[in-house]
Amino acid sequence: MFWGNDLGNWKEYESLNKKTLFGNEEYWKKYIGISATLAKEIPQAFLYEVVCCYSYYVIGNSENEEMRQKFLELPEILRYTMLIGLYEGEINNGGFAQFYDNIGYIVFELQKGLKFFGLKKNKKLIDKSISLIKKRIDISNYYELCSKEELPLDEIDDELSKLDDRFYEYPEDFTEIINSYLDKNREQLITIK
């Protein structure tokens, strides 16, 4: 509930930070978005984390049309930040095979996000993984095969493992690059006025 012009700030965010599934669920329930004050006050080192947490909170964690619609309603900068957070988490947790098993449906939007932030080396990794899949399927059937978990990942396991190794070298520092970009574009983070 809002009292006057209280739309939330960094001090309140920190005080409510409980590290729940969505980072700071209590804050998002109370304030419903990123205010101009919060966008201005978030320390640069926390921008990537806070934007990811907010975006995860907004869209939830189910795969359906409602989630997709909520995702599309997020500002582009928040969508791409969240996608890169998902990508980074999945690859670190189980490699490209896990990425495709769990959230492969985001791969084409992720390509745009990597380009958006200038993460060229990671875009090359994703492009390579897509080209491996394209050699084995009609790409027009990609989403159908992905939703049925029928992508030919076993056939390309060795190649995906090589991409995993290249990813684990961390050719680009996501946190540093994204925090820097978000810091220069704080006005684009505002979701409530």
pTM: 0.87
pLDDT of residue 3: 36
Count of beta carbons in the 10 Å neighbourhood of residue 87: 24
**What's the first-to-final CA gap in the chain, in angstroms?**
14
Name the least confident of 38-42, 58-62, 187-191: 58-62
pLDDT of residue 2: 36
Task: Go through the domains of the chain in sequence order and give each one's CATH number.
Answer: 10-188 (1.20.1420.60)
Evaluate if residue 37 carries a pLDDT over 70: yes
Evaluate if residue 6 carries a pLDDT over 70: no
For 154-168, how does the pLDDT look when each residue is reduced to its tens digit (9 = 90+)? 999 999 999 999 999
For 93-134, how does the pLDDT look when each residue is reduced to its tens digit (9 = 90+)? 999 999 999 999 899 999 999 999 999 999 999 999 999 999
